[in-house]
Amino acid sequence: MFSEDQFDPTLIADKLRELADDYDEKVIQPLMKNITQAAADQVVTAFGDSVDSLCKSWVAERAEVSSEKHLLKATIMLGLYVKRNSPGLTGAIQNAMANILNTRLGTWVADQGGWDEVASH
């Protein structure tokens, strides 16, 4: 066991930063590349495919969380990331997000009691 004198939070912070950078490089950047290189009329499809890919990786890690929650989280997270890093795609990404929310999550949200109920969990 380590004593308090041997505990170095800098080592933990460095490792977390390394893991985050690795995730960004291996998962997020390839998804962003697909979205930003898609033709204007294919951004919605590329965004949806990227959301699905992100969900699949999360489902493998946390199967106890419903797939709808993964889909909602991935849609919002990736949408915000694209907005921050590729502001020129904001309009297309808003359309893609609305499409996912309406067509793939609408029934689930209604079954939960609406957006207020979903947001409270």
Does the residue 1 lie in any domain? no
* Predicted local confidence at residue 61, as pLDDT: 62
| Structural domains counted in the chain | 1
Cα–Cα–Cα angle for 25, 27, 28, rounded to 5 degrees: 75
* Averaged pLDDT score across all residues of the chain: 82
Structural domain including 53 reads 8-120
Residue 75 pLDDT > 60: yes
Does the residue 35 lie in any domain? yes
Does the residue 2 lie in any domain? no
Query: Which residues are within 8 A (CB) of 16 and not within 5 positions of it... i.e. 6 or more apart?
Result: none
pLDDT one-digit tens code per residue, 62-72: 666 678 888 88
Does the residue 34 lie in any domain? yes
Cα–Cα distance, 121 to 119 (Å, whole number): 5
Does the residue 105 lie in any domain? yes
Q: Higher model confidence: residue 61 or residue 74?
A: 74
